[in-house]
Amino acid sequence: MAAPPSPALTTHAEAITHLSLDPVMAAVIARVGDLPVLPPTPDPFTTLVRSVTGQQLSVKAAASIYARVQTLLGAVTPETLLAADPEALRGAGLSWAKVRTVQAIAGAAQSGAVEFAHLGTQDDEAVIAALLPLPGIGRWTAEMFLMFGLSRPDVFSLGDLALRQGLARLYPETPPAEVLAAWAPYRTLAARYVWADKALARAGGAPV
């Protein structure tokens, strides 16, 4: 029987203490400051659809397109997505690839191929395995969903270019596997700090 998933963090105190045992990460945390605790989504289906619509877009552009999709559909549900004219979804701002993906997500939800209501009870790899068969869903998308949708505490996506660059910048002499092993079981928060530190560096608030 698979182990139950690790629960979402309700506070970062213990995670910060653990991550700060690493002096490099301790300096990152000091530079960045507190990050908000992320609660798990009450609606995994809609969260995944919204995540897909916003991929490779700025936050502002993603919000604008999702708002147009909501206006078009009235409510974002498997039924409304499957009933929508693909041309209308394209007109709302989705690329053809994203139209295919969100309608595939809707089809999987409606058929029960992916039981979104039960994803929160499955371990990380089971969630990834459930999502990967959907067109347009790769491991990176599934890992982002685990991190920001289900608020899993121990996910670090090596498929994310910014995270790989962050590791190379912060730990030029240390193998990534060694760094990640030291951060477990709080690698999600570590990833968020690596992202935040990179953003701070770009803004001129920290050395690159």
- As a whole number of angstroms, the distance between CA 128 and CA 105 comes to 14
Q: How many CB atoms lie within 10 A of CB 18?
A: 17
- As a whole number of angstroms, the distance between CA 98 and CA 48 comes to 12
Co-location of 176 and 159 in the same domain: yes
Strand, coil or helix: 119: helix
pTM for this model (two decimals): 0.92
**CA nearest 142: which of 23, 48, 2, 1?**
48
Contact 194, 170 (CB under 8 A): yes
Is there a catalytic annotation at residue 160? Answer: yes
CB hemisphere CA count around 168 (13 angstroms): 7
pLDDT at 208 over 60: no
Co-location of 137 and 63 in the same domain: yes
Instruction: Tell me the residue range of the domain where 169 lies.
Output: 13-38+155-202
Model confidence pLDDT, tens digit, residues 62-118: 999 999 999 999 999 999 999 999 999 999 999 999 999 999 999 999 999 999 999
Model confidence pLDDT, tens digit, residues 6-40: 899 999 999 999 999 999 999 999 999 999 999 99
Per-residue confidence band for 56, with pLDDT thresholds at 50, 70 and 90: confident
Given the residues 34, 43, 160, 197, the one annotated as active site = 160
Asked if the structure places residue 50 within a domain, the reply is yes
Per-residue confidence band for 5, with pLDDT thresholds at 50, 70 and 90: confident
Average pLDDT over the chain, rounded to an integer? 94
- What is the domain-level CATH number for residue 134? 1.10.340.30
Averaged pLDDT for residues 185-202: 94
- What is the domain-level CATH number for residue 185? 1.10.1670.40
Asked if the structure places residue 7 within a domain, the reply is no
Number of domains in the chain: 2
